[in-house]
Amino acid sequence: MKEILVLYYSHTGAVREMAQLVARGVEQAPGCAARVRTVPKVAAAHEAPAPAVPASGAPYVELKDLEECIGVALGSPTRFGNMAAPMKYFWDSTGELWLKGGLAGKPAAVFTSTATLHGGQETTLVSMMLPLLHHGMVIVGLPYTEPDLRATTSGGTPYGASHHAGAAAERPISDPERRLCIALGRRLADVAAKLAG
């Protein structure tokens, strides 16, 4: 079975739910399975370090997950129009892999959630692409051949999947947002399987 890494950070659960939908899309591709992982919170040195294993949810990612998987779907909440610090902190630890070109040529896709409709979904998605491009990864987006991209009145962009969660996370993932998460996972896995031969 070829594996796609679905790597997310989520504080209040919206991006975790999106990650599960992206993983569902990955598993629709013949011969593909999703490996779902998260990253620990970052804390100032005087605070307690993160436990080695999370109390619940996906296990923490290790560099070998990036090496072993044939593609990566990356999800983070929007933080001031950018990815959240724990996800950026993780990518800052991947220099060794970058030096040896471990991810060069593998495909990647991105997804995010925001409190407000125009609060920076696109900028966050593009910011998440930057470390992936430095690693030589091939970005997979969502084309307008996906009917939901035209129909959505909330999240969903050509740059990747997105969700408008509302200020109090009161908005459930809409049907178009959900289908676009699944479509992104499926497209990523299809491309990754082709590239991996």
CA 189 to chain centre: 13
- Give the tokens for residue 140: 């997979």
In three-state secondary structure terms, 33 is strand
Candidate ranges 37-45, 57-65, 77-85, 93-101; the one touching ligand FMN (CB under 6 A): 77-85
Which listed residue (10, 38, 127, 157) binds ligand FMN by CB under 6 A?
10
Contact 107, 140 (CB under 8 A): yes
Residue 12-41 contact track with ligand FMN, rule CB under 6 A, x = bound: xxxxx-------------------------
- Closest by Cα among 80, 110, 73, 84 to 10: 84
185 binds ligand FMN (CB under 6 A): no
- Give the tokens for residue 47: 């605070």
Residue 165-184 contact track with ligand FMN, rule CB under 6 A, x = bound: x---x---------------
Residue 74 to residue 88: CA distance in whole angstroms: 11
Which listed residue (4, 111, 114, 161) binds ligand FMN by CB under 6 A?
114
Name the minimum Å distance from CB 129 to ligand FMN: 17
CA 194 to chain centre: 20
The site for ligand FMN (CB under 6 A) is made up of 10-16, 77-81, 113-116, 119-120, 165, 169
